[in-house]
Structure 1
Amino acid sequence: MASLVQPPVRWPDGWRWPRVHQRMLYIGVGSAVALVLGVLFRSLPVILVSALISFVCLALWYESREKYRTSQLVNAVTLTEALAAPPDSWVHFFRERRRSIGVLVLMFLIGAVFSFVGVLTWIIQPADSVVVVRTVGTAAGLLGVLFIATGWRGLVGRKRLGSFGERPLGFALGESALMLVTVTGVAYVPWTDILAVEATQADRDSKDDDHPGVMWLNLTVRRADGSSTPVMLAPMTSEVHPWVTYAAIAMAAANPEFRARLGTSRAQAELDAWHAYATGSRNASR
């Protein structure tokens, strides 16, 4: 069992501590009660609205309860199509979290609704403000396509993460590079090309702690021509605790000694110890 060792990088000020969305549970249960009442009183609008709200809230609550796991020390070839040798032989793999069926269905449902609205605005002939209506409709349709594409990406990821022999999704830390394993392929970012690592969060100024925005790790990466480009990672999509993710990437980008240990059982033991500390420290962020 890994000993409790605090990650060497403090919890980022730009992030809120992850928590279970209990409010989603309360709203979901309340909507379920409304659904029962709608059935008893035979009110179709109440049944449809309450069923949708209950489904959405309970799916989000269920996902927020997923427990974190530690990284895996694996051979890098297992994460590629093996068309070419990866830059590192052994890496620490931060597996992507499998999206729940409920959230994926929600993505497709919202996408279908927005897409339908978008198509409808081009079919109907409004008496006034045709340009405005169709502009709004086009925006809604594009948003619907985005939701459907996100749902499809999550569905593909769920299949691959649960199938033996298929390349899983996530990212990996090796001695020389950060490996990004996505649906479209594998990319490598050398540690020496990462100029900065910044932790940010959408809607960080909001006071609603029960609905925190998406956590981001913004990497500033040097291009071959000397210019820089941003690379964004979403730690909450990983099975590994965000604190461990941030500490590992920040350390690897700035500390050559830590990089030299990556890909070894010694580094894996460090990551396991950080995982044990982070998952057992509810109030360690302050």
Structure 2
Amino acid sequence: MSDSPASQGNGFEPFPWPPVEPTFSAWKAATFGIGAALAGALLLARDLAEGERVHALLTGLLFSCFSLIGFGLIPQRRPRGAFRYINATVMTRAERPTADSWVHLAPTRPARLPLLIAGAEATLALSALVVYIVLVLLGLAPLLNEDTGEGGYLLALVPVALLAVASGWVTALMIGRRIRGGSFGTRPSGVALGETSVTVRVPGRDIEIPWTQIKSVTARRTAVGTDLPGSVLLPRRHRGENLDLIRLALLPGGEVTSREQWLAADGYSVPRDAVYTALRWYHSHPEARWELGRVEGERRIEGWRRRALAAARPTEA
């Protein structure tokens, strides 16, 4: 492979659609966060003045969560980072040999701190509410609202408990993703390309997919909440409602028993066009996979990253 600048970025294939625009603009998200903080402060002061300490605690937790979510939804800058050229073993717990020794990792972006704190607060508040409801039903705590009665608390117990579990699970994934977002001594998360396999190592998913099992690599755009296997993947009028994905169609007979693997097109610290190009190009060029895990592959992938950044500049202006 030639190392000349003219050869870098050959085979570049951007994702078919431009990045989905965020639902909230920066000023809308910031306005929501500031408004929630001010409203929470006013209600908190009122509850404290009336001696309603429990209400004040719940009000503070609720509106601080809303405020943090608002600030956490402020759009981030488009990713510009590079693939990490690392030993595949550092991505595992060293319980068994990896398919490839050295890989090129597209790291996931760490979860944003305001959203992580909001998730932790929500989990804490919901868990405390579950404990309080149980104590009320056991007669060990007074009713905050006599009009509700024990029947209302009993009906609220299951949905509140489910929300607490869901919030805790999402928060745990965000914490794991942030811890594994490149800190020294932790297992990095992301999608890695090696000579023999594509590795997906993120909180909640840990698999190696042989290149020979991948039938095709295609782009998909679907609506949030749509069942992926049967979705009609066309751009919708409101782009903020779309979700961009990379679909790996799989052949039967490998360790991965499902017939497809969905990867997020976004959420990496590297440009998504570079991730998509690397998966597509190396899938269709098996004779060139020898360079993955070597400096030749690093140079080629870096060329695609630079092409992706150059293509994105006019739209960011």
TM-score w.r.t. the length of structure 1 is: 0.76
Match of 1:177 in 2: 197
> In the alignment, which of 6, 9, 15 is matched to residue 13 of structure 2?
9
Distance 1:144 1:66, change over 3 A: farther
Alignment partner of 1:28 is 2:30: yes
What CA deviation, in whole Å up to 9, does each residue of 1:162-201 have, x standing for no partner?
4322221112101111122234684211011011223223
Distance 1:219 1:125, change over 3 A: farther
Work out the CA distance in 2 between the residues paired with 1:118 and 1:48: 15
Alignment partner of 1:231 is 2:254: no
Match of 1:255 in 2: 285
Larger radius of gyration between Structure 1 and Structure 2: 2
Distance 1:91 1:27, change over 3 A: closer
Match of 1:159 in 2: 179
Match of 1:201 in 2: 221
Question: Is the Cα–Cα contact under 8 Å of residues 244 and 275 in structure 1 kept in the other structure?
Answer: yes
Q: After TM superposition, give the deviation of residue 58 of structure 1 in Å.
A: 1.4
Question: Is the Cα–Cα contact under 8 Å of residues 78 and 271 in structure 2 kept in the other structure?
Answer: no
Question: Is the Cα–Cα contact under 8 Å of residues 11 and 281 in structure 2 kept in the other structure?
Answer: no
What CA deviation, in whole Å up to 9, does each residue of 1:11-31 have, x standing for no partner?
224xx4155666243342355
Q: After TM superposition, give the deviation of residue 115 of structure 1 in Å.
A: 6.3
Work out the CA distance in 1 between the residues paired with 2:307 and 2:301: 10
Match of 1:90 in 2: 102
Percent sequence identity over aligned pairs: 21
> In the alignment, which of 208, 216, 221 is matched to residue 250 of structure 2?
221
Work out the CA distance in 2 between the residues paired with 1:141 and 1:243: 41
Structure 2 letter corresponding to 1:56: I
**Pairing of 1:25-104 with structure 2 (within 5 A):** 25-29=27-31, 31-32=33-34, 35-36=37-38, 51-61=64-74, 64-65=76-77, 67-104=79-116
Structure 2 letter corresponding to 1:280: A
Question: Is the Cα–Cα contact under 8 Å of residues 87 and 176 in structure 1 kept in the other structure?
Answer: yes
Which range is displaced more, 72-81 or 96-105? 72-81
What CA deviation, in whole Å up to 9, does each residue of 1:93-152 have, x standing for no partner?
11121112211122334455666788859956448xx9xx56xx6456434422321211
Unpaired runs of at least 5, structure 2: 48-55, 138-148, 224-233
Distance 1:108 1:235, change over 3 A: farther
Distance 1:35 1:163, change over 3 A: closer
Q: After TM superposition, give the deviation of residue 155 of structure 1 in Å.
A: 0.7
Work out the CA distance in 2 between the residues paired with 1:162 and 1:225: 30
Question: Is the Cα–Cα contact under 8 Å of residues 72 and 93 in structure 1 kept in the other structure?
Answer: yes
Structure 1 letter corresponding to 2:263: L
Q: How many aligned positions are there?
A: 275
Distance 1:247 1:52, change over 3 A: same
Match of 2:299 in 1: 269
Structure 1 letter corresponding to 2:69: V
Distance 1:12 1:141, change over 3 A: farther
Q: CA RMSD in A?
A: 3.9
Structure 1 letter corresponding to 2:171: G
Structure 2 letter corresponding to 1:94: A
Which range is displaced more, 169-178 or 48-57? 48-57
